[in-house]
């Protein structure tokens, strides 16, 4: 696996996976562009998720809701009031930080002084941040007195009282920038699922339990985007809202944690690097009854890849009309605008109730980063040379097969290779490339680095011009395996079976 983010960043730039956003104008912080190989890898990951969670199940429907979101959706969901991170400024350097990130990066003795100044039990980090947000004036003074360091200067700062910063991106719909036209870019895909609950239910006549799955962009104005594509301002999520009967929620919560852990392993992440973390009660979001985060050992540390929350009837209960009659159990804002009843009629008793929801919510970009980190391998060859290989699952690899003519100046060979490329592409297994840049050794190295599982070479034998003068090897090619570097010779008619088997999910 990769040891540092830097080696991944360098590979991604060099080979065309991921570039900094708006780079030629100095970059736009917290944005990245997926290049020729990144877009393939990302699409493959999303397709694998969709296939597992929508196609292979009989209790799931898909959705693609809009990104621009009515203000009331994010009012009643609670985001307008509470989707905020604590932020603090250094008056000396004018730098701004997310409070918890800043504190986590401090030397131990600085933190110890801060715990003491805030009179919080040492080691209870969550309580420390809470205490600081409860008395911001005191917290600002305590940070300055404890000599909290500014990572930008490495010097103690003069800190302002911390305050909350709402992370939603605002925009205006229509030509006039006025309050009434305010809308948001969605900060999560989930809300689009909740507000379409009745539409999907009416259209599909689903019975509980069932889920709605969605993949799409989400936007958060993160105070300190960092760690490459781990924390960005524009990212993608793969989210499921799985609706269940109250009382069955705990079973389904456990079920989804297991299911998702299994899936990430099937994608190639090793079990040792995946850590399920049950949030203690004091860390839980106000709407959650229980949350298990799936943490991954990223090169920069053990951090969240996916969160699986039991959200009870909070979401449908927040957006439904007739809240009182439906007897919602979660604490929700009184909804005076919703025009629909987001509830389920029990087919046996005829009674209406609001389903509970289990939400497995994964980040696509964090998934891509984890896959790259896990797959990145440095090997020393018997010759003493080093090779870098991306040992991605063949199914996820951006390019499945590279077809390489041994020489570029023999039309029989290059034409044969081009025809073979077209034929293999026709199998529908993903991207197949015809590759005649550089010599064959260079082509192999390049494809090792981008994770292409198979390199197929068309040579003199293939066109029936073997050195021994026979045509025994006509229509055979060499197939080189990325991981073992072993080459076998196959008849071109055997390639379909071979590749289908190797690329099967
Ligand atoms: P964090 O605590 O790291 O800010 P979160 O708990 O706020 O994340 P959720 O709201 O649970 O994140 O979002 C679900 C998933 O979306 C996360 O597990 C993560 O994979 C992804 N995600 C959230 N914020 C970002 C971001 N800024 N950049 C990339 N992915 C993100």
The verdict on the CB of residue 98 being under 6 Å from ligand 1 is no
Whole-angstrom CA distances from 231 to 82, 194, 227, 302 are: 20, 25, 6, 14
The verdict on the CB of residue 189 being under 6 Å from ligand 1 is no
CATH 3.40.50.620 is held by the domain 399-502 = no
CB atoms within 10 A of CB 485: 14
The verdict on the CB of residue 232 being under 6 Å from ligand 1 is yes
For the question of an ipTM over 0.95, the answer is yes
The verdict on the CB of residue 366 being under 6 Å from ligand 1 is yes
| Spacing, Cα 186 to ligand 1 middle (Å) | 13
The verdict on the CB of residue 260 being under 6 Å from ligand 1 is no
How many Å apart are CA 91 and CA 181, to the nearest integer?
35
- According to the model, what pLDDT value does residue 438 have? 76
For residue 482, which phi and psi values (nearest 5 degrees)?
Answer: -55, -45
- As annotated, the residues of the chain forming the CATH 3.30.930.10 domain(s) are 5-68+184-372
| Spacing, Cα 298 to ligand 1 middle (Å) | 14
Nearest CA to ligand 1 atom 2: 304
- As annotated, the residues of the chain forming the CATH 3.30.40 domain(s) are 84-166
Determine the residue of 18, 231, 236 to mutate for testing ligand 1's pocket, defined as the one with the most ligand atoms within 8 A of the Cβ atom.
231
Nearest CA to ligand 1 atom 16: 363
Question: Residue 435's Cα: distance from chain center in Å?
Answer: 31
The verdict on the CB of residue 239 being under 6 Å from ligand 1 is no
3-state secondary structure of 187: coil
For residue 217, which phi and psi values (nearest 5 degrees)?
Answer: -75, 150
How many Å apart are CA 134 and CA 139, to the nearest integer?
9
pLDDT tens digits in sequence order for the chain, 505 residues long:
999 999 999 999 999 999 999 999 999 999 999 999 999 999 999 999 999 999 999 999 999 999 999 999 999 999 999 999 999 999 999 999 999 999 999 999 999 999 999 999 999 999 999 999 999 999 999 999 999 999 999 999 999 999 999 999 999 999 888 888 999 999 999 999 999 999 999 999 999 999 999 999 999 999 999 999 999 999 999 999 999 999 999 999 999 999 999 999 999 999 999 999 999 998 999 899 999 999 999 999 999 999 999 999 999 999 999 999 999 999 999 999 999 999 999 999 999 999 999 999 999 999 999 999 999 999 999 999 999 999 999 999 999 999 999 999 999 999 999 999 999 999 999 999 999 987 899 999 999 999 999 999 999 999 999 999 999 999 999 999 999 999 999 999 999 999 999 999 8
| Spacing, Cα 363 to ligand 1 middle (Å) | 6
The verdict on the CB of residue 304 being under 6 Å from ligand 1 is yes
DSSP string of 410-449? -HHHHHHHHHHHHHHHTT-SS-EEE--SS-HHHHHHHHHH
For residue 77, which phi and psi values (nearest 5 degrees)?
Answer: -70, -15
Contact 287, 315 (CB under 8 A): yes
Question: Residue 159's Cα: distance from chain center in Å?
Answer: 34
Indicate the angle between helix axes 136-145 and 125-134, nearest 10 degrees.
120
| Spacing, Cα 361 to ligand 1 middle (Å) | 8
| Spacing, Cα 308 to ligand 1 middle (Å) | 12
Both tokens of 369, joined, read 């980063």
CATH 3.30.420.40 is held by the domain 5-68+184-372 = no
Q: Please tell me the number of Cα atoms within 13 Å of 37 on its side-chain side.
A: 24
| Spacing, Cα 232 to ligand 1 middle (Å) | 9
| Spacing, Cα 234 to ligand 1 middle (Å) | 11
For residue 106, which phi and psi values (nearest 5 degrees)?
Answer: -80, 150
Both tokens of 252, joined, read 């389904």
- According to the model, what pLDDT value does residue 120 have? 96
The verdict on the CB of residue 235 being under 6 Å from ligand 1 is yes
Question: Residue 309's Cα: distance from chain center in Å?
Answer: 17
Q: Which residues contact 331 (CB under 8 A, 6 or more apart)?
A: 286, 314
The verdict on the CB of residue 391 being under 6 Å from ligand 1 is no
User: What CATH class has 84-166?
Assistant: alpha beta
- As annotated, the residues of the chain forming the CATH 3.40.50.800 domain(s) are 399-502
Nearest CA to ligand 1 atom 26: 231
| Spacing, Cα 148 to ligand 1 middle (Å) | 26
């Amino acid at each position: 696996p990769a040891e540092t983010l830097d080696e991944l960043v360098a590979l991604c730039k060099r080979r065309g996976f991921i570039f900094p956003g708006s780079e030629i104008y100095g970059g736009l912080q917290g944005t990245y562009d997926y290049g020729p190989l990144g877009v393939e890898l990302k699409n493959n990951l999303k397709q694998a998720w969709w296939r597992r969670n929508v196609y292979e199940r009989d209790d799931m429907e898909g959705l693609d809701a809009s990104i621009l979101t009515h203000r009331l959706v994010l009012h009643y969901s609670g985001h307008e009031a509470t989707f905020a991170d604590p932020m603090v400024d250094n008056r000396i350097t004018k730098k701004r930080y997310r409070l918890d990130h800043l504190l986590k990066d401090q030397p131990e003795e600085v933190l110890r002084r801060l715990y003491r100044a805030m009179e919080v039990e040492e080691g209870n980090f969550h309580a420390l941040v809470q205490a600081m947000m409860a008395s911001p004036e005191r917290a600002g003074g305590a940070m300055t007195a404890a000599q909290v360091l500014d990572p930008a200067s490495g010097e103690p700062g003069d800190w302002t009282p911390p305050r909350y910063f709402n992370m939603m991106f605002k925009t205006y719909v229509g030509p006039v920038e006025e309050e009434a036209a305010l809308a948001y870019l969605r900060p999560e895909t989930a809300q689009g699922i909740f507000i379409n609950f009745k539409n999907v239910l009416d259209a599909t006549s689903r019975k509980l339990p069932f889920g709605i799955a969605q993949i799409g962009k989400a936007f958060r104005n993160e105070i300190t985007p960092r760690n490459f594509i781990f924390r960005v301002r524009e990212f993608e999520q793969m989210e499921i809202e799985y609706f269940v009967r109250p009382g069955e929620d705990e079973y389904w919560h456990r079920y989804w944690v297991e299911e998702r852990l299994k899936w990430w392993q099937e994608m190639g992440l090793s079990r040792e690097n995946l850590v399920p973390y049950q949030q203690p009660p004091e860390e839980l979001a106000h709407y959650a009854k229980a949350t298990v985060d799936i943490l991954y050992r990223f090169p920069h540390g053990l951090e969240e890849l996916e969160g699986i929350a039991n959200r009870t009837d909070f979401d449908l209960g927040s957006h439904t009309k007739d809240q009182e009659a439906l007897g919602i159990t979660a604490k929700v804002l009184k909804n005076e605008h919703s025009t629909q009843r987001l509830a389920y009629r029990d087919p046996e008793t005829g009674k209406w109730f609001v389903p509970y929801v289990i939400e497995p919510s994964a980040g696509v970009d964090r998934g891509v980063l984890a896959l790259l980190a896990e797959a990145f391998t440095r090997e020393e060859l018997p010759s003493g040379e080093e090779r870098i290989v991306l040992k991605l699952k063949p199914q996820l690899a951006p390019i499945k097969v590279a077809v390489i003519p041994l020489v570029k100046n023999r039309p029989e060979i290059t034409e044969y290779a081009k025809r073979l490329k077209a034929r293999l592409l026709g199998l529908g297994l993903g991207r197949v490339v015809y590759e005649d840049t550089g010599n064959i050794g260079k082509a192999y190295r390049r494809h090792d680095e981008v994770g292409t599982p198979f390199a197929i070479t068309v040579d003199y034998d293939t066109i029936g011009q073997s050195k021994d003068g026979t045509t025994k090897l006509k229509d055979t090619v060499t197939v080189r395996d990325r991981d073992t570097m072993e080459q076998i010779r196959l008849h071109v008619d055997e390639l379909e079976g071979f590749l289908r088997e190797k690329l099967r999910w």
